Amino acid sequence: METSKLYINGSFVPSTGTDRIDVIDSATEEVMGWIPAGTVADVDLAVKSAADAQPEWAALPQHERSRHLMALHDELSNQAEFFTTLIAREVGTPIKLGQFVQVGVAIAAIKDAVDELEAFAWETPLANSTIVREPIGVVGAITPWNYPLYQILLKIAPAMAVGCSVVLKSSEVAPLNAFVIAEAIDRVGFPPGVFNLVTGFGPVVGEALASHPLVDAISFTGSTRAGKRVMQLGAETIKRVNLELGGKSACVILDDATMTKAVSSGVNNVLLNSGQTCAAWTRMIVPRSRLAEIEGMAVEAMAKFAPGSPFADGKVIGPLVSAAQRDRVREYIKGAQDEGARLLLGGSEQPQDLESGYFVLPTIFTDVTPDMTIAREEVFGPVLSIMAVDDDDEAIALANATPYGLHGGVWSEDLERAERVARAMKTGQVDINGGRFNPLAPFGGYRQSGNGRERGHYGLEEFLEIKAIQH
């Protein structure tokens, strides 16, 4: 696997700089590889390559673009086991979980984009006009470390499907999987310049990409803080900026819910990927009349999970991705205790039987009030806050008492009641009674959780311009 060179214009080439970035195994804290720290000059070369390649790629018949993408799908599918192991080391996701959420769903996103493209209406009549959709051009894709393969493919597959070329800046924290993608694209034989990979730090590579005048659209997933900077830079050239940012999602459990299922599902949700999930239900909003019962259920459900190696059997919570992330989450735990939240399980200590690795104990707080930091800010770790309310209206108000709005859940045996609460929640997605994942449904946020949508028909639209031709 070539990780010492960038992928630009159909070839692996050295960076114009000499700096490199070590990649750390999250469970052992040992160096497992390194990547180039790309430069502004590297970004410029990649963007110009993408700009040169895009018109011919867009002019290819749709079935030809789809053929390239399905060949990539098959190449990556053949490497699914390798990806699972690699991401377990880079991110810390347990193997059994990673097979589905890190790899299976990710690779399927390619086929989803191709299938959606087959039914896509490129031209529609409107009175005396024809509404035409055209690829926006060069797309800069900036992706995070928590679901690295998924986030890359969720951006590049629909963008390339509709005829855009791409320059990818993958996370420098978990970047090695991006090189596997680049190698597969090279083997498949995509035209040079349609896909380019420049690795490096956000303030250098990310900002150069977001501000480049030849980049027509930026698709960014990451923190709200970084997303604000990307939007500022994109505004300089009035490029389209799609942002999928942070969240502080609520799991609203009403008093008539099937409590065991609701509470255990809420706990499982917040522990997914060790809590490193933007859509995690980190606030469990519950009826005050059943608070003690729910506290006990939550502790029982979470206590079944233990921190451990991502390669271990059983219900394991893997490490966090880095020392910085571990320390950040532990500071939130300490802060919550200082502010008066009551600790039910876990805490800020290193697990006793794990001397190395970026582990955080699965943690539950109760007596959490809306003004506490842990109720307002995204923790991005295995930490659950339980918050009590007296009725449905108070539950809705508390669920919406956040600058974010990415996801949420509602639990009730009265479906009409649950639907009313779900519709009142200011958030991009809501699951009722654990409604299953729909790969065609639009995913994205309200307010400071971002703008734009990914997946399905909506994901294709993000990479298109609309033209009206009058007759």
Which amino acid is located at 117 in the chain? L
The token pair that represents 303 in the structure block: 């206590």
The position carrying tokens 């410029």 is 44
Q: With contact defined as beta carbons under 8 Å apart, do 411 and 422 qualify? A: no
Helices (H), 78-167: 80-90, 95-98, 105-118, 148-161
**E-assigned strand segments in 279-399:** 283-287, 306-307, 316-317, 342-345, 363-366, 383-389
Q: Taking every pair of C-alpha atoms in the chain, what is the biggest distance, in angstroms?
A: 74
Choice among 244, 378, 454, 462 that is catalytic: 244
Q: How many CB atoms lie within 10 A of CB 28?
A: 14
Q: Residue 427, SS3?
A: coil
The position carrying tokens 């971002």 is 450
Q: Is 355 a catalytic residue?
A: no
- 292 phi and psi, to 5 degrees? -60, -40
Choice among 90, 278, 295, 462 that is catalytic: 278
Q: With contact defined as beta carbons under 8 Å apart, do 270 and 282 qualify? A: yes
8-state DSSP, 147: S
Long-range CB pairs of 444-447, under 8 A, 24+ apart, other chains included: 444/244, 444/406, 445/244, 445/245, 445/247, 445/404, 445/405, 445/406, 446/404, 446/405, 446/406, 447/403, 447/404, 447/405
Q: Is 244 a catalytic residue?
A: yes
Kindly give the pairing relationship between strand 408-411 and strand 431-432. Answer: parallel
Question: Which residues carry out catalysis?
Answer: 244, 278
